[in-house]
């Protein structure tokens, strides 16, 4: 089936399941899934129930769509996303975003766990994503364009919604949390980067690195969504400290930040 057709099929399934068009879609990154438990859920859909959705295989990603109220708004949260490293095609990784945009959801919050490249960062802190290094990310828009979603060639200069970012800064101040701002670099994984990779990424201007987010933001941008990106710095990137990196440590730090992250995102949804 053609992609446009698959999107239509999934959109009409979701329309049959949801009582309204959500105000905001949220992608929850590694270990940040517990935010979904804060949603007053009206509907929970397993990815296995949703036509054309793939399954989430990454640890710390449960693979459910949670629809309900958060901060007084109707939200649709992806508890678990699809990563390129799981073996999925990029077009599969971004399929949910294209469905959300087609459904009429205008706003998207993308979160992730990331390694800190900027040595001023400390694990457990948050970073507002203000720019992206996309060069190591095979473009998810490669192949026939779905014209209903957006243009073949599209801007990535004004990717993030500046008003929403301003609100995020104010909320971080109010809640007394550190919110760095920086460039997120995509690396395909699943191996963590080498110290040389990290030195190279730093030279290129990256402040944080991760294995997700960039594909989804590219797709959301093409579809004209208002986007906010937040990284949870779960570890210092390879070679910065004299320690080995592990996925367990990433999830453990994300768990420590959980409450701060949930309060922050809730306010960012409530006040938008």
Residues interacting with ligand HPA, by CB under 6 A?
Answer: 113-115, 187, 192-193, 209-211, 234-235, 237, 245, 250
φ, ψ (nearest 5 deg) of residue 200: -65, -45
Rounded Cα–Cα distance for residues 94 and 150 (Å):
14
Nearer to ligand HPA, 30 or 159 (CB): 30
Q: Name the residue whose CB lies closest to ligand HPA.
A: 115
Q: Structure tokens of 8?
A: 């239509």
Nearer to ligand HPA, 39 or 113 (CB): 113
Nearer to ligand HPA, 76 or 211 (CB): 211
Q: Structure tokens of 126?
A: 């948050």
Question: Looking up tokens 């960062």, which residue turns up?
Answer: 121
Rounded Cα–Cα distance for residues 94 and 139 (Å):
10
Rounded Cα–Cα distance for residues 56 and 146 (Å):
24
φ, ψ (nearest 5 deg) of residue 195: -55, -35
Nearer to ligand HPA, 167 or 256 (CB): 256
Task: Show the CA angle centred on residue 68, arms to residues 160 and 161, nearest 5°.
Answer: 10
SS3 39: coil
CA distances from 56 to 81, 92, 125, 161 (A): 6, 11, 26, 28
Tell me the closest approach of the beta carbon of residue 69 to ligand HPA, in angstroms: 30
């Amino acid at each position: 089936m053609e992609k446009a057709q698959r999107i239509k099929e999934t959109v009409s399934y979701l329309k049959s399941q949801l009582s309204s068009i959500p105000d905001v879609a949220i992608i929850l990154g590694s270990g940040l899934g517990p935010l979904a438990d804060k949603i007053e859920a009206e509907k929970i859909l397993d990815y296995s129930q949703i036509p054309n959705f793939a399954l989430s295989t990454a640890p710390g990603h449960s693979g459910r769509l949670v629809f309900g109220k958060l901060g007084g708004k109707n939200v649709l949260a992806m508890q678990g996303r699809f990563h390129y490293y799981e073996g999925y095609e990029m077009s599969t990784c971004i399929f949910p975003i294209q469905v959300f945009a087609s459904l009429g959801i205008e706003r998207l919050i993308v979160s992730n766990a990331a390694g800190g490249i900027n040595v001023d960062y400390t694990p457990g802190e948050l970073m507002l994503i203000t720019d992206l290094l996309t060069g190591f990310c095979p473009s998810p828009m490669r192949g026939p364009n779905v014209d209903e979603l957006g243009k073949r060639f599209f801007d990535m200069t004004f990717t993030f919604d500046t008003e929403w970012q301003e609100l995020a800064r104010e909320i971080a101040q109010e809640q007394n949390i550190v919110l760095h701002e920086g460039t997120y670099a995509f690396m395909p994984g699943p191996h963590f980067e080498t110290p040389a990779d990290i030195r190279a990424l730093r030279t290129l201007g990256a402040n944080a690195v991760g294995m997700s987010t960039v594909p989804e933001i590219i797709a959301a941008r093409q579809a004209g969504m208002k986007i906010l990106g937040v990284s949870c710095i779960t570890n210092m990137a390879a070679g910065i400290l004299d320690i080995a990196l592990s996925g367990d440590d990433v999830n453990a730090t994300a768990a420590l930040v959980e409450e701060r992250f949930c309060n922050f995102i809730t306010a960012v949804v409530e006040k938008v």
